[in-house]
Structure 1
């Protein structure tokens, strides 16, 4: 019998913020417990940022250069296959809890279709049990039914009760706080979504057919607020020093893209309680540490609900026949390099967790695999683990061989970042670039990271001697050979992964021939 399939994404979860990753402070006992009977991929990377582009890579198994979803709101071309459509063709009914952030193709939707006014569209192929976008209407209705007062401005629900009920626009002292959310630990969006899934799963458990679900948790994505006890779970004084230049000005001098990002990123964009006005880079070390402590609390809150979800699967007798996959769409800078969010070339924004529990491969349980893996690998991995053939044109490769102990020869990971601003033109104006030149690609090996820009100067970092990525060696004559080698590696990667949906097919007098490696 085919397995149930459960794909979980927790938005903006850094790959180092796990107990099993050896983090010196963050505690994730429930995820750690899952990893003990699963396979953990410790060097797993997303292929794009922010949410929409990254998820397009995960769902299609294609790099950004092929799927061409470059920003939130970029339409996903309807010609692309994806994991939900592939599983549906195989007899599953992929069911969504949360969101997928895939903007619809305007060429196949009428001009007055409301889906053309949002980037939070639904990936084709999914049935929707519960759609929970950033404007979380179903969760707010649930809170109201539980006796909470829901403000007219729904975003104010994320402001904490601190003395009088906080309101957006109230004067603040400009410093983040650890004030708790106005809802309880069992009333978060994560808890709500978990409960809805468990109820649905209980219905499916009574049916004689495997089920397939995608749970897309919004947290630990901002707003940076979390209920008790998570708001004070971590002491801001604890934890490592931030990876960054001595000053924000020195950081900005590293590259024009960093200079642009630090010059535009404002505190208010991140819904940090007590943020005040001004630039993110103006916060003090104490401020960044408080935000980081809140973020760690948000990670632990999600961890608690994952524990509840696993307990529910076990209680329903579903755990031993469920292919369980946990990852994130991208990471979070979290004060490193004087910034928050996700952008550019830093590992912090692209290194994410990946835990896979395949019940049919117990020999893989408890393993931690340290070779590189990528989010484009998740589509073919789920297909193979479920006994299905992945489409031949995917850029990702199945991780099942690695789980079975056959190793991996991947020596590098790749990702892309597009910083155009289609609606405002701001990036183009500030950087003096045409829209289609606002992009970059990264190749990262064990030691080196090379960043190639379409129209800006390149970057080269020696990660062995400069793990903080603060010294650009691209113009260093002593590193010229490495720069050429890495540029050639990036060029070879692009040549091998251009759109391959039809290039492996040949029409011959004997009929259609399809080649496979």
Structure 2
């Protein structure tokens, strides 16, 4: 029996890893793993947002069928990935820092040990929400109102959350949870009986509403850029209008620093498994839930179907018993195929999976975004779902009646403007229609989600509430 470890680097796009040709040395440890792995040059996430893409990885279903974002939870009648492993005799664990990938959103099904890393006082109020609701007041009155609202038995927790909100205090080792995630992962390795399965989710590359966008130790934050330059150009999370080229360059350098920091944690997991003598018997996959736009196409962050938002790394180190030779593969694949990959490895039934193993040919690749219909989220705006279909080197992006066709030949991003006239345009539109007709359109979006104060605070920090 083999072990399985899936490492997800939140909001990390493939183009910024050095093993994918990036000019800065962002991923020396991942590069070393890549040397003994299958590296998929053109891997696409099934969705450009965490909740839907991770739900796809856990179920083997496209977002169009599980509709986790609209339901507000992962609730479909198929075995979750950890359940497949548990039924095959694996001890299962999950360690996450993203508030979506938690038991509250239905991701604990089949997980023996779930560590959702926290960064605040559980009993304290959602301070960001409080101040947003009182932003119409003068500054001194906002603080006075906060103190008055804090005068109850949880006073110390309220004040602690206030200090964290204002000064970013009490964070774990001055990062966004990576240190504790790695500790929890190695504790799982200590305690688990072989064979085991671990899902580990890191969030340092996800933009936060804090100074300089990424929460990292100082040396890592400014690894690729001087602090003075960051202050001078005014890097922003949500710039108004077109992002100036200088700001975009500095922003990407900060982003690269976060990836380099994550790479160090991946290296620690790899070293730990090697020291235990378990590396050779472990399928070790490194990927991302989605990519990130840093000003390209006038887009910032994720929730976009352009290449920076959905093209992600996929590095799969096969176990010794698996008949897959290391090397680079340039065929396009959907990372949702990891579900079938793992199922085949352990001999589990995954007939419901809508995408084959990443080692199989993917004739078409589909990615979907329904976040505009998340009425419980600030993302929600009643817009039609967006879909992108890849066929050969063509990419069709569709939202309602709006259609854009791009050439993606050997490009990190879309090559040039949309193709206004192409002989295969109608063929791709018909293929897209066939996919969309196959999905269940009956799901109604909920108006609110019920999460505890901790999850609410973290979702708000990440811009979802």
Superposition CA RMSD, Å = 3.5
Deviation at 1:494, TM superposition (A): 4.3
How far, CA to CA, are the matches of 2:425 and 2:24 in structure 1?
36
Partner of 2:453: none
Counterpart of 1:417 (choices 353, 369, 373) is 369
Does residue 397 (structure 1) correspond to residue 356 (structure 2)? The answer is yes
Whether the aligned pair in 2 keeps the contact of 1:378 and 1:398 (CA below 8 Å) is yes
Does residue 230 (structure 1) correspond to residue 220 (structure 2)? The answer is yes
Counterpart of 2:385 (choices 439, 444, 460) is 439
How is 1:167-178 mapped onto 2 (pairs within 5 angstroms)?
none
How far, CA to CA, are the matches of 1:234 and 1:312 in structure 2?
28
Does residue 364 (structure 1) correspond to residue 324 (structure 2)? The answer is yes
Partner of 2:399: 453
Partner of 1:76: 74
Partner of 2:424: 482
Deviation at 1:27, TM superposition (A): 2.4
How far, CA to CA, are the matches of 2:378 and 2:256 in structure 1?
35
How far, CA to CA, are the matches of 2:219 and 2:295 in structure 1?
23
Measured against aligned partners, the alpha-carbon deviations of 1:295-349 in whole angstroms (never above 9, x if no partner) come to 1000000101111111111111111221211111101112222332112320111
Whether the aligned pair in 2 keeps the contact of 1:193 and 1:217 (CA below 8 Å) is yes
**Where does structure 2 lack aligned partners over 5 or more consecutive residues?**
123-156, 209-213, 228-232, 441-465
How far, CA to CA, are the matches of 1:452 and 1:282 in structure 2?
24
How far, CA to CA, are the matches of 2:17 and 2:379 in structure 1?
36
Counterpart of 1:132 (choices 112, 117, 121) is 117
Counterpart of 1:192 (choices 173, 180, 183) is 180
Partner of 1:93: 91
Partner of 2:261: 301
Secondary structure, in 3 states, of the residue corresponding to 1:323?
A: strand
Give the TM-score normalised by structure 1. 0.68
Secondary structure, in 3 states, of the residue corresponding to 1:373?
A: strand
Structure 1 residues 103 and 78, CA, compared in 2 at 3 Å: closer, same or farther?
farther
Partner of 1:260: none
Whether the aligned pair in 1 keeps the contact of 2:307 and 2:414 (CA below 8 Å) is no
Partner of 2:153: none
Whether the aligned pair in 2 keeps the contact of 1:7 and 1:214 (CA below 8 Å) is yes
Deviation at 1:9, TM superposition (A): 0.9
Structure 1 residues 449 and 15, CA, compared in 2 at 3 Å: closer, same or farther?
same
How far, CA to CA, are the matches of 1:342 and 1:81 in structure 2?
28
Whether the aligned pair in 2 keeps the contact of 1:292 and 1:334 (CA below 8 Å) is yes
Higher relative contact order (CA 8 A, sep 6+): 2
Measured against aligned partners, the alpha-carbon deviations of 1:10-32 in whole angstroms (never above 9, x if no partner) come to 11110112111111124211001
Whether the aligned pair in 2 keeps the contact of 1:15 and 1:353 (CA below 8 Å) is yes
**Where does structure 1 lack aligned partners over 5 or more consecutive residues?**
105-114, 139-149, 160-165, 169-180, 238-272, 403-407, 429-434, 500-517
How far, CA to CA, are the matches of 2:376 and 2:180 in structure 1?
34
How far, CA to CA, are the matches of 1:62 and 1:321 in structure 2?
28
Partner of 1:342: 302
Partner of 1:214: 199
How is 1:30-109 mapped onto 2 (pairs within 5 angstroms)?
30-70=29-69, 74-98=72-96
Partner of 2:7: 8
Secondary structure, in 3 states, of the residue corresponding to 2:430?
A: helix
How far, CA to CA, are the matches of 2:349 and 2:387 in structure 1?
26
Partner of 1:281: 241
Structure 1 residues 7 and 203, CA, compared in 2 at 3 Å: closer, same or farther?
same
Measured against aligned partners, the alpha-carbon deviations of 1:105-134 in whole angstroms (never above 9, x if no partner) come to xxxxxxxxxx8xx6x55331112342126x
Deviation at 1:65, TM superposition (A): 1.3
Deviation at 1:274, TM superposition (A): 6.3
Secondary structure, in 3 states, of the residue corresponding to 1:79?
A: coil
How far, CA to CA, are the matches of 2:237 and 2:5 in structure 1?
41
Structure 1 residues 452 and 369, CA, compared in 2 at 3 Å: closer, same or farther?
same
Structure 1 residues 341 and 364, CA, compared in 2 at 3 Å: closer, same or farther?
same
Give the TM-score normalised by structure 2. 0.75
Does residue 383 (structure 1) correspond to residue 343 (structure 2)? The answer is yes
Structure 1 residues 125 and 445, CA, compared in 2 at 3 Å: closer, same or farther?
same
Whether the aligned pair in 2 keeps the contact of 1:48 and 1:416 (CA below 8 Å) is yes
How far, CA to CA, are the matches of 2:4 and 2:238 in structure 1?
45
